[in-house]
Amino acid sequence: MYKRQVCTTKEGTKVYEVKGREIRDNVNADFALGCHDKRCDYIPPNEVWIELLPDTTDMCYNLQHELAERWIMAEGSLPYRSAHSFALQMEKKARKTGKCQPCAELFSSEMKEHILELWPLFIEPEEPASGRCGRR
């Protein structure tokens, strides 16, 4: 299986690009664009997988989404649905403004403070443990 490390965040999360079709054919048919260890049981601890795409800008936005979602689930103990909703809003805003941060600059302390301030808006009841990828 193709899996190439592309960066490591300041907090030590390793980011890998993977071939989505290989993941869908051999690991999980529902894999789409990216996932992380807090959502998908088949991803090792402290890893995020991003689907290799022809457009690296899309990969950048997908990475921002997955890292935000992962951080919210890990630090806030929020369920996937709430974390995904918040990460999706962040992604939409970034795409609209055309601002995609390089991996090394993701999640500054200011970004984390912003996320913490907005969390109450996204808290939803806990979802069942079963899901398309499984949860830890």
Would residue 136 count as lying in a domain? no
Q: Tell me, what's the pLDDT at 134?
A: 40
Domain count for the chain, please give it: 1
Residue spans of the chain under pLDDT 70 = 101-136
Domain residue limits at 42 = 3-121
Q: What residue has token string 């806990």?
A: 126
Would residue 12 count as lying in a domain? yes
Q: Tell me, what's the pLDDT at 124?
A: 42
Q: Tell me, what's the pLDDT at 13?
A: 86
Would residue 75 count as lying in a domain? yes
Cβ neighbours around 123 below 10 Å, total: 13
Q: Tell me, what's the pLDDT at 76?
A: 72
Residue pair 74/83 in contact (Cβ under 8 Å)? The answer is no
